[in-house]
Structure 1
Amino acid sequence: MNLLRDNALIYGRLLTITEPHLIERYNKALVAFGLQPTRLASFGIDRTGFSPEIAEELGDYQYLDPNEVNRRFIILTPDQVDLPVVHTAFSNTGKLLYEFFTSNSRAIDALTIKDVIYGEIEDSVAKVEDIEDLLTINQVEFRVLSAEDVLGKAAELATLTDRLKREPDAWRDDEMLQRMVVLAKVCGDIRENALVPDQVIFRHNAFWTSHFGGTYVFVDRDVTTVVADPSAPGFRRSRPWQVSYIAASDTERVFRFLAETGRIELPRASWLERSGYLEHRAEMTIRALIRDNDPGADLTGADKVWLQTWIARHADLITEDGVFPFLNATKREVAQTGRVELDEISPQHRFLIVRARPDHPDAWLTNRLISDFVPSDFVSRYVFNKQTFYKEYEGCSEAWRRQVVAVLKSTYLKDKAAFRARLYGLTD
């Protein structure tokens, strides 16, 4: 993983913490979680407060996610809102944290001047043992604490202030007034500084989770759909009248579900021709063939000219594989007719020529699921499915790892937003 880290392809864009007072606050949160304080003088954190350096120091990459549910968080600064989430068991953890930050920005701004905010994103279950446990999670609540109890003191000050307003003789209570002075020194003017987050409950909609080897849960008006390994506990057993179950290996049913629920953009000239999507898939196909069939190839200068030369020299192999010719045929059909007849295409090949509908709320999750069926496209897997990407990367040769890093640097990392907008139609 060192090559990925050196090129900001793993644990990239983390916020470096070096200020002694912030490290002290972080340690208070660690101790509150029952963990050992860090001795590091510098470490990076993501949106949730997770630090890979501290995970290594503790020897526990789950230190903020001990049961892979009820995720812990540590907030040192409002600036964390713009950071990525680099380690999570649920795909929507980052979105939930973002909603918490933006919905309570004034309170977070004020609190982090004086204190560290920490706590848990509480689900309805303490431990996931079967699919039914996942299906019961329809909302989460942020249980918010602060090391110096600024939150509790602000709440106490608010109560005393209300009493002072409501009770005519309350101003005669010298002990109460003195307590208010003490609290105000800590909290400031709570009429101006909103110190207590007022929105802590958020919807938990469609998501992917690492449980049971990877499980998708999609929520529609009348039915919830689970895409998972059939061996997962509770598969086809939990609430069959409300839940549709699809085996993750059932390519045809997964595709039909995505199409019928309007989650995918079918192959049309309107987006295929301007996006370069088919050309991208074709290049990824050839690179995968090189990896699997020509391990001795020198990939140092594997640019488009080099790839064309390799294609010419391995025409029989490419024809036998069939994917590259299929993509070229699809490109011709789109140019001639503006669309593709999917009924005549095998289910596995269909995923090569579709993407998530960009305006659908589940676009990122859908693109993640599509990437499961296109293992040759490591760029798409990196963008939407980093857990799988990292796992597969670990099993590759050093030469192929260098090639993967080179391709990601020359494509996605050059301008992530522009790349996502062009290839996948995504604007966020």
Structure 2
Amino acid sequence: MKRLIERGLMFGNLVHVASPVLVERYNRALEHLTGRTTALTDFHIDISGYSPEVGQELGDPLYLNPKGVNRQFILLTTAQKTAPLLDATFSTSRGILRQFIETNEAQLFALTAKDAVAGELVNSVFVAETPADLFTIRKITVEADTTEGTVRTAERLGTLIDRFRTEEDAWYDDVLIAEMIGLARETGDVVRNPVRLERMTFDQQNSWTALFGGLYLFRGVPEPGVIAAGDKAALGPMPVDTVLDLSDRNAIAGFLERNGLVEPIVRARGIDGAAILHQKMEFITAATAAGQGETLTGATRRDLRRIARRHADLLPPEYHHLAALARWAEDAGPWPRITADDAAYFYTLRAAAGPDADLVNQLLAELSPLDVRQLFICHKPAFYAAYATWPEEKRAYVAELLATEYAVDKAGTREALFGHEAPMDDPAPAADPELLDRVGPWGAVRRR
């Protein structure tokens, strides 16, 4: 993993904490939340304030995420909003934290100038003993305050100010006035400079969790269901009818199609579908070549095409199916019939536009693991696990590829792969539209 760290592909964009003042504030917050402190004077933190160095020191990678269900956080600076969330248990946690920081940025900037802000993503479940328990998590509420309780004190002062303004004899209430003065010494003028954090609550509808081997939970769709990375039989009773695992390829294809969650890459607006297919073929070629001991250092696209020709008989079915589809997309071949049983099926799809696009692209990445770029972008835990098993040549090639073609323009690459254009008033007709409407994108998924 050292190669990934050196290229900023692992533990990248963390916030460096080296100032004695910030370390002291972090320790106050850490003790406030967990009862523990760190002896480190130099470490890095993610968006939640979690530090891999502190986790190693304490021997507890979940020191800010007890039981893996209720994520706690420490904010030292609003700059944490662009940091990643390491070892995320739920796919929604980083988005919730970032939205909370951005919504309250001015207030948090003022609060963190003097103290750390500590908080928690609160839900109704403290321990998920069974997979079914995850379906009881309906809402996530963000609760936060400084270690000195500045926000709580300001709320109390605000209540007293309202009493002072509305009660008829408040001017003669010495106890009320004295309490207001005492609280104002702690908070400052809350009338001119309110100290208040928005209490934000988020619906937990569709999400991924690392618990129980990895689960995709879909509740906010017409046909709710759960998709397990492991054996679905190990889940036990679930509160939904559709329970699948990654081996149920046909069933997953039907589930995604019926819920309108995917679209074929070659029909998607705003992207060069044929170019993306060729890139996926290159990743598959690299994987095959690495397995044959080929040297991939500095390999160009032309080199990969040459390698593909030399090892054509060793390339997996995914490559040949994608090649047929690319030929069709470039008007150079017949329409290929790719079914959900075909190894290339999920490589040909991407998430449809919608609030769950990131979640669906993560699932598709897990179903098409030879597309190493999508795996890295959409499902980093799965990427890191796969990377540890690859031969050295493939590790070197992939790290260099990601560092030179993705890391230099992350936003542009994501837009090129997953961006969605608004539909035109008169869209051009798709190839064989009656067939597509009747049986799904590639003729494999029949509607109910």
- With normalisation by structure 1, the TM-score equals 0.91
Deviation at 1:113, TM superposition (A): 2.6
Deviation at 1:344, TM superposition (A): 5.0
Does structure 1 residue 23 correspond to structure 2 residue 23?
A: yes
Does structure 1 residue 145 correspond to structure 2 residue 150?
A: no
Residue pair 1:230, 1:247 contacting (<8 A) in 2 also: yes
In 1: Cα distance, 2:335 partner to 2:35 partner? 56
In 1: Cα distance, 2:273 partner to 2:245 partner? 34
| Cα shift readout 1:108-145 (whole Å, capped 9, x = no counterpart) | 23322332211221121111121221111111122323
Deviation at 1:426, TM superposition (A): 6.0
Deviation at 1:341, TM superposition (A): 5.6
- 2:102 alignment counterpart: 102
Structure 2 residue ranges without an equivalent (≥5):
422-448
| Cα shift readout 1:286-338 (whole Å, capped 9, x = no counterpart) | 0111233x1x32222322232223223223223xx333222221112223399
The structure 2 residue matched to 1:349, chosen from 332, 339, 344, is 344
Q: How many residues align?
A: 419
* Superposition map of 1:24-39 within 5 A: 24-39=24-39
CA distance 1:200–1:270, shift in 2 (3 Å): closer
Residue pair 2:121, 2:142 contacting (<8 A) in 1 also: yes
* Superposition map of 1:201-350 within 5 A: 201-228=201-228, 229-231=230-232, 234-235=235-236, 237-240=237-240, 243-269=241-267, 271=269, 273=272, 276-292=275-291, 294=292, 296-318=293-315, 321-336=316-331, 340=335, 342=337, 346-350=341-345
Deviation at 1:17, TM superposition (A): 1.8
Residue pair 2:365, 2:375 contacting (<8 A) in 1 also: yes
| Cα shift readout 1:132-159 (whole Å, capped 9, x = no counterpart) | 2111111112232321111221122112
CA distance 1:312–1:147, shift in 2 (3 Å): same
Residue pair 2:338, 2:344 contacting (<8 A) in 1 also: no
Q: Which amino acid aligns with 1:354?
A: L
Which deviates further from its counterpart, 381-390 or 45-54?
A: 45-54
Q: Which amino acid aligns with 1:350?
A: Y
| Cα shift readout 1:235-268 (whole Å, capped 9, x = no counterpart) | 4x2324xx42222320111111112211111243
Which deviates further from its counterpart, 109-118 or 325-334?
A: 109-118
Q: Which amino acid aligns with 1:244?
A: T
Does structure 1 residue 418 correspond to structure 2 residue 415?
A: no
Residue pair 1:129, 1:233 contacting (<8 A) in 2 also: no
CA distance 1:248–1:35, shift in 2 (3 Å): farther
CA distance 1:350–1:54, shift in 2 (3 Å): same
The percentage of aligned residue pairs carrying the same residue is 33
In 2: Cα distance, 1:145 partner to 1:199 partner? 11
- With normalisation by structure 2, the TM-score equals 0.87
In 2: Cα distance, 1:342 partner to 1:365 partner? 27
Structure 1 residue ranges without an equivalent (≥5):
none
SS of the counterpart of 2:205? Answer: coil
Which deviates further from its counterpart, 364-373 or 164-173?
A: 164-173
